[in-house]
Structure 1
Amino acid sequence: MAKLAGKKYCADEECSHPISIALALEDYIPPDCRFIDVRKGQTVFIYSKLKGQGRLFWYGTVQGGYYEEREAKLGYFPSSIVQETQVLKEPTEELPTTNWDFYCE
């Protein structure tokens, strides 16, 4: 799969700490397995934000509704479909992306 961007912003070097919490403003149906399904009204935890060419995409997971009975999945979604409601930790780390950031089966 093609890389969406060459760099990303994270709250820590492993991108393991959520940057912020957001509310989904609309549904999003993913085009491929790099992305996640998001439903209006869901809470989204944001772990990284792409920089440069792919800056309109963020990486995270959703909670509630659609995923309640399934294991949570991490993936990309357009930043335009969510509204950040709480900043948990500033994204101070600018890191290069790798092929694994965009790997899907």
Structure 2
Amino acid sequence: MNKNFDPSHDYVRTNELLYKNTTTKRTYAALDEISYPQLFEYLAPDQKRDVLLQLQRFLPHVQQSILAEWQARCLTKEIRNPAAYLFGIIKKARAGEFRAGNINDY
């Protein structure tokens, strides 16, 4: 090594390892096994597509629970925007806060 090293005039080569952070999304493709509520048919095509994409993150029994809860809530409460309500339930499920049947949670 050079004893007369001056950082303002000399260059030092460094080796850096770059790590790429990767995440893996779990998807479950059992959407054809799900029984969709009648209310689902009233969603706009783009809303249906988005719901199906969001539901793929959950196991089939959770997907079914989300849809059943949504249908029950829409039939028993005055829901002004059923699509937004469904996306709200899905958001809670992603956060681990979904509990079917607890009507005061949503």
Question: Shared fold by TM > 0.5?
Answer: no
Higher helix proportion: 2
Q: TM-score, normalised by structure 1?
A: 0.24
Which entry has the higher C-alpha Rg, 1 or 2?
Answer: 2
- The structure richer in strand per residue is 1
Give the TM-score normalised by the residue count of structure 2.
Answer: 0.24
